[in-house]
Amino acid sequence: MPPPPTQPERVSPEGTEERAAGSHTEERLNALLQALPDLIFRQRLDGTYLDFIVNKPEELLVPPEHLIGSNLRDLPIPQALIDTFFMYLQRAIGGGALQVFEYEIEVAGKPQYYEARILRSGLDEAVCIIRNITERKLTELRLHQQEEELRRHRDHLEELVQSRTEKLRQATRELEERQVQLIQAEKLASLGQMAAGVAHEVSSPVGYVLSNLGTLSQYASALTPLLRLQRELLDTQGSSSPDTREALLTRMREHWSQQDMDALLEDLPELLQESLEGARRIKEIVQSLRMFAREDSGEPQLADLNVELEATLRMVWNELKYKCTVARDLQPLPPLRCHPTQLSQVFTNLLINSAQAIETRGEVHVRTRHEGGEVVVQISDTGKGMTPETLSRLFTPFFTTKPRGQGTGLGLSVSQSIIARHQGRIDVQSAPGKGTTFTIRLPLAEP
Ligand SMILES: Nc1ncnc2c1ncn2[C@@H]1O[C@H](COP(=O)(O)OP(=O)(O)O)[C@@H](O)[C@H]1O
Ligand SMILES: [Mg+2]
């Protein structure tokens, strides 16, 4: 192997010690060069190889003995690579700056990667160090492929998440729509349940208002002739004879006693008062019914739950009155932003459930209070209570223990979803024979 061209000749007149030191340096340098894994060439600007150090001759593309004096142009490598080498060789020698570049060639059918570093080493020549970086390159490539694969995986996952989210959103929308339908269905069912009662409730005032009107019309018939006689009497005043007037007065007296006008006059205000009350009661029932049946506008409104409860109680009164007395303990409440018709639907269901749970006679207790940031409504009854089995399935849609036609099993599940829509809670306490208490808590400030 020729000595490296960069090796400075160290000649010193000082004697053998200097020479010995010089050969030491040389030895160390040689060792260093032989330990390097690189191919090192010295090369002229025209591409001629002047010198080389190669520790792994099998990496050379030409036999080592033919290398010196041969030219880059004659190497069995692609022309494009030869051109690249020349470009960097010229840059290194012309500009003086270190040139570094990487390239790939196929050796024995396998791609090999190299890094070339070219540095000017004289006027017309450069040192070229070539290092095999295949291993690093392959690792990099593998890493890159893995990254690519990871990216594809991540993209795929993101797509999956997106499509699932969309599906979930769709399902939620459908669920919400179905819930609205369910609320409406339950409302219609309880309306149906109440219709007979309401009809009965209206029919009694309608009955006595009608009968009173009949009596009043008879009274009017009795009053009319008397009033006519009075009119005649007024007309004759001053003009006709005292006999005529006396005759008129006698007829009036007769009529008064025949028709029992005293009793009529006594009865009249009572009849009118009763009829007015009946008409008012009918108006009230119809109003409550309209309130219950009205469509929810969708926008929450400010409402006093005590007022809603009173209206609901009026409406379901017919369902309750044969079974129980209702005790009210309604504390003043601040206005609550809510859907009043929906809450009234909840109260209706709870009150009717209570009445249905009472077998003979009992009591329903309605309590409201303002506690912390919440409005609390409590409806308890002294009914038959619930078994743990019923308690555990209470809010399940279509769960009912009532005979066909009496229960839909939707009341509590719909009530629960209405309360949840108001960010509230509905709790129940019950035991067989001990009655039942439902407690509803509704937050005042929207979260
Ligand atoms: N106050 C109550 N006392 C006893 N049982 C009740 C009470 N409220 C509800 N339940 C039980 O819960 C069941 C479900 O009630 P709900 O969802 O309103 O449906 P429905 O009233 O149509 O049966 C009732 O069938 C009944 O067994
Ligand atoms: Mg019910």
pLDDT tens-digit map of 42-85: 999 999 999 998 888 777 888 888 889 999 999 889 999 999 99
- CB 399 near ligand 1, within 6 Å: yes
Tokens found for residue 49? 């190889």
With contact defined as beta carbons under 8 Å apart, do 126 and 41 qualify? no
Residue 16 has pLDDT above 60, yes or no: no
Measure the CA–CA gap between 96 and 31, rounded to whole angstroms: 28
Residue 186 has pLDDT above 90, yes or no: no
Q: Which range marks the domain in which residue 430 is found? A: 301-443
Q: Is 70 part of any domain? A: yes
Averaged pLDDT, 183-200: 73
Residue nearest to atom 12 of ligand 1 (CA): 394
Q: Which residues, other chains included, contact 187 with Cβ-Cβ below 8 Å and sequence gap of 6+?
A: 292, 293, 345
- CB 401 near ligand 1, within 6 Å: yes
What are the strands of the beta sheet with 110-122, ordered from one edge? 49-54, 39-44, 125-132, 110-122, 99-107
Q: In this structure, which ligand is nearest to the CA of 402?
A: 1
Measure the CA–CA gap between 181 and 188, rounded to whole angstroms: 10
Confidence of residue 213 (pLDDT cuts 50, 70, 90): very high
Q: Are residues 308 and 413 in the same domain?
A: yes
- CB 386 near ligand 1, within 6 Å: yes
pLDDT tens for 132-163 read 999 999 999 999 999 999 999 999 999 999 99
Q: Are residues 268 and 323 in the same domain?
A: no
**Least confident range of 256-260, 274-278, 371-375:** 256-260
Q: Which domain-ending residue is among 266, 293, 320? A: 293
Q: Is 116 part of any domain? A: yes
What's at 149, amino acid-wise? Answer: E
Sequence length of the chain is 447
**Least confident range of 27-36, 71-80, 170-179, 334-343:** 27-36
What angle is formed at CA 430 by the lines to CA 426 and CA 436, rounded to 5 degrees?
75
With contact defined as beta carbons under 8 Å apart, do 386 and 431 qualify? yes
Q: For residue 103, how far is the Cα from the chain centroid? A: 56
Indicate the burial class of 124 (C-beta count within 10 angstroms; 0-12, 13-18, 19 or more).
exposed
Q: Are residues 60 and 80 in the same domain?
A: yes
Averaged pLDDT, 231-239: 81
CATH number of the domain that 327 lies in? 3.30.565.10
Q: Is 412 part of any domain? A: yes
Q: In this structure, which ligand is nearest to the CA of 395?
A: 1
Q: Is 158 part of any domain? A: no
- CB 435 near ligand 1, within 6 Å: no
Q: Where are the beta strands (DSSP E) in 304-435?
A: 324-330, 336-338, 362-371, 374-381, 425-430
Ligand 1 center to 281 CA (angstroms):
30
Q: Which domain-ending residue is among 293, 323, 353? A: 293
Q: What are phi and psi of 38, to 5 degrees?
A: -90, 165
- CB 324 near ligand 1, within 6 Å: no
With contact defined as beta carbons under 8 Å apart, do 6 and 121 qualify? yes
Q: Is 188 part of any domain? A: yes
- CB 340 near ligand 1, within 6 Å: no
With contact defined as beta carbons under 8 Å apart, do 283 and 276 qualify? no
Atom of ligand 1 nearest to the CA of 438: 1
Q: Which domain-ending residue is among 258, 293, 328? A: 293
Q: Are residues 276 and 328 in the same domain?
A: no
With contact defined as beta carbons under 8 Å apart, do 334 and 305 qualify? no
CB burial string 281-308: b at 16+ within 10 A, e below = bbeebeebbebbeeebeeebeebbbbeb
Atom of ligand 1 nearest to the CA of 381: 1
Q: Is 242 part of any domain? A: yes
Q: Are residues 323 and 411 in the same domain?
A: yes
Q: Are residues 329 and 401 in the same domain?
A: yes
Q: Are residues 265 and 317 in the same domain?
A: no
Q: Where are the beta strands (DSSP E) in 288-435?
A: 301-303, 324-330, 336-338, 362-371, 374-381, 425-430
Q: Are residues 359 and 262 in the same domain?
A: no
Q: Are residues 280 and 388 in the same domain?
A: no
Q: Are residues 204 and 317 in the same domain?
A: no
Ligand 1 center to 401 CA (angstroms):
7
Q: Is 57 part of any domain? A: yes
Q: Are residues 285 and 396 in the same domain?
A: no
With contact defined as beta carbons under 8 Å apart, do 355 and 320 qualify? yes
Atom of ligand 1 nearest to the CA of 414: 17
Confidence of residue 399 (pLDDT cuts 50, 70, 90): confident
Residue-averaged pLDDT of the chain: 87
Q: Are residues 240 and 339 in the same domain?
A: no
Q: Is 137 part of any domain? A: no
Q: Which helix (H) or strand (E) holds 157?
A: helix 134-236
Domain count, the chain: 3
**Please, what sign has the CA dihedral across residues 132, 136, 140, 142?**
positive
The residue assigned the tokens 């207790």 is: 365
